[in-house]
Amino acid sequence: MTRAEIISVGNELLNGSTVNTNATLIARRLHEMGMPVLWIQTVRDEKLAIRQALDSALSRSQVILISGGLGPTPDDLTKPVLVEYFKSQLVFREDILQKVKERFEARGMVMPEINRQMAMVPDNAEVIPNTIGTAPGLLFRQDGRLIFVMPGVPREMEVMLELDIIPRLRQECPQCQTQTDLFRTTGIPESALYEKIADHLQNFPDYEIAFLPKLTGVDLRVIRRDEETQRHETFENFKKKLYNLIGEFIYTTENLELEAVLGNMLREKKLTISVAESITGGLIQDKLTRVPGSSDYFLGGVVAYSNASKIKLLGVQPLSIETYGAVSEQVANEMAIGVREKFGSDIGLSTTGIAGPTGATATKPVGLVYIGISYRSRLMVQKYLFGNDRETNKQRAAQAALDLVRKNI
């Protein structure tokens, strides 16, 4: 087994101003390809600290991934330390300097002279292109060990990892080859999901499933370590059975949010939607409009937080509110119909509920939510009972509403 290790360099990681998401991302991607990360060391921008971390890492790991400290300012010490450590000579690379200059010119700026040193690279390292920023990555090799060096800027690090380092590691470590598949679910808690598929999983000992629970649902990541032969057939079999068991909760196998999945469906079916929100307070519409091009199918909506606005803007009957209360099946119905009429959309979606901490009554607890849909000649309302936390209730209700539309169009 190839052992990997991460060294994160940067004062911002040690004074608490920045969460080390780089290390988490590197660890996840390497875990998925079957190369476990056994250590993460986080050190300051100090020569001695970086050197000590390297000593420890080289004593126990075959693959070492360093991020941070590659920039042009005096507090960026990773490259100088490595040059000393691996007894390199710095050589000037005109092609790198040109790339850096072009990057500044594209932003209408002259390259500050300090960036010239970006083009000085160790003679005994391979250069890894940085397609987003100015600091190139590096790869040193020592006694069969690989030492990758990446910038600390998350987006630059991520792209370099995906485009260059992961493919390289796959080549260097053929026995690490694994395939991972994603199944994104919503509407079912992690433990219930586990119960439904536990027996199934036992039939596929080469498949490891990671459960990643979030407020909006649980992602399943399936890591396959089976032999190349018959892999495809086995996986199709696995997948078919998985869908038999939990298919209704899976909204995508791609790396997409639910609002993007729903958006694609709406665009394909040429349907438009409008939304009347009470408990979710604008969150559903915020989610829908996070998707570029959502104006193709999302017409707009109303946040009807007060009874008066439910009546005036959505045509909810005052008698319905009086008789059943604002949080009721009846009012959810009328909100969905009202918003659909008002905006002239194909689908009207509505939410009403009690987010908490206040607002509960004897018969209506915090977390009670009704979601309504008016679509074609159909009218449906689903009742939910979420939890005690205001923000959680809003998030869960918004996700449930989007999912209810997905399932019913």
Which of these segments, 17-25, 78-86, 234-242, 330-338, binds a copy of itself (CB under 8 A)? 17-25
Nearer to a copy of itself (CB atom), residue 320 or residue 351: 351
**Partners of 353 in the beta sheet?**
369
Nearer to a copy of itself, 17 or 73 (CB): 17
Q: Whole-number minimum distance, CB 232 to a copy of itself, in Å? A: 26
Q: Dihedral of the CA atoms 203, 205, 207, 211 (nearest 10)?
A: 80
Min dist. Cβ of residue 22 to a copy of itself (A): 10
Footprint of a copy of itself on 356-385 (CB under 8 A): 356-358
Q: Which stretch binds a copy of itself (CB under 8 A): 76-84, 182-190, 308-316, 328-336?
A: 308-316
* Closest distance of CB 388 from a copy of itself, Å: 12
Closest contact distance (angstroms) between CB of 268 and a copy of itself is 19
- Using the rule CB under 8 A, which residue among 2, 36, 93, 379 binds a copy of itself? 36
Asked if residue 25 binds a copy of itself (CB under 8 A), the reply is: yes
- Residue number with CB closer to a copy of itself (93 or 221): 221
What CA–CA distances, in Å, run from 244 to 155, 200, 239, 241, 249? 38, 11, 9, 5, 11
Rounded to the nearest whole angstrom, what is the least distance from the CB of residue 39 to a copy of itself in the complex? 6
Contact in structure between 69 and 10 (CB atoms under 8 Å): yes
The residue type of 201 is L
Q: Which of residues 314-353 bind a copy of itself (CB under 8 A)?
A: 342-344
Q: Does 311 bind a copy of itself (CB under 8 A)?
A: no
Centre a 10 Å sphere on the Cβ of residue 358 and count the other Cβ atoms it contains.
Answer: 8
Strand order in the sheet with 207-214: 207-214, 217-224, 179-185, 250-252
Considering the rule CB under 8 A, would residue 392 count as an interface residue with a copy of itself? no
Q: Which segment (71-79, 136-144, 228-236, 354-362) binds a copy of itself by CB under 8 A?
A: 354-362
Which segment (19-27, 141-149, 248-256, 372-380) binds a copy of itself by CB under 8 A? 19-27
| 175 binds a copy of itself per the rule CB under 8 A | no
Are 36 and 178 in contact by the 8 Å Cβ rule? The answer is: no
Instruction: Output the CA angle 297-303-308, nearest 5 degrees.
Output: 135
Alpha-helix residue ranges (DSSP H) falling in 179-230: 190-202
Nearer to a copy of itself, 97 or 223 (CB): 223
The CB density around residue 132, as the number of other CB atoms within 10 Å, is 15
Q: Which of 307, 350, 302 is nearest to 326 (CA)?
A: 307
**Applying CB under 8 A, which of residues 127, 132, 265, 313 lies at the interface with a copy of itself?**
313
Does 357 sit behind a cis peptide bond, omega within 30 degrees of 0 on the bond before it? yes
Q: What is the DSSP string of 17-41?
A: SS--HHHHHHHHHHHHTT--EEEEE
Residues numbered 181 to 210 that lie near a copy of itself (CB under 8 A) are 210
Site residues for a copy of itself, window 275-294 (CB under 8 A)? 275, 277, 280-290, 292-294
| Closest by Cα among 170, 152, 144 to 77 | 152
b/e map 314-330, b = 16+ CB within 10 Å: bebeeebbeebbbbbbb
Check if the beta carbon of residue 184 is closer than 8 Å to that of residue 253.
Answer: yes
β pairing state of 368-375 and 378-385: antiparallel
Amino acid at 362: A
Among 340, 394, 399, 400, binds a copy of itself (CB under 8 A): 394
Report, in Å, the least distance between residue 42 CB and a copy of itself. 4
From CA 366, how far away is CA 385, in angstroms rounded?
Answer: 8
Question: How many CB atoms sit inside 10 A of residue 241's CB?
Answer: 15
Identify the residue among 20, 134, 320, 374 touching a copy of itself (CB under 8 A): 20
* 26 forms part of the interface with a copy of itself (CB under 8 A): yes
Smallest separation, CB 12 to a copy of itself (Å): 9
Measured from the CB atom, the residue of 211 and 324 that comes closer to a copy of itself is: 211
**Which one of 14, 139, 250, 380 is in contact with a copy of itself (CB under 8 A)?**
14
Task: Map the footprint of a copy of itself across residues 208-247, applying CB under 8 A.
Answer: 210, 212
Among 44, 101, 184, 224, binds a copy of itself (CB under 8 A): 44
Among 1, 21, 385, 388, binds a copy of itself (CB under 8 A): 21
114-143: which residues touch a copy of itself (CB under 8 A)? none
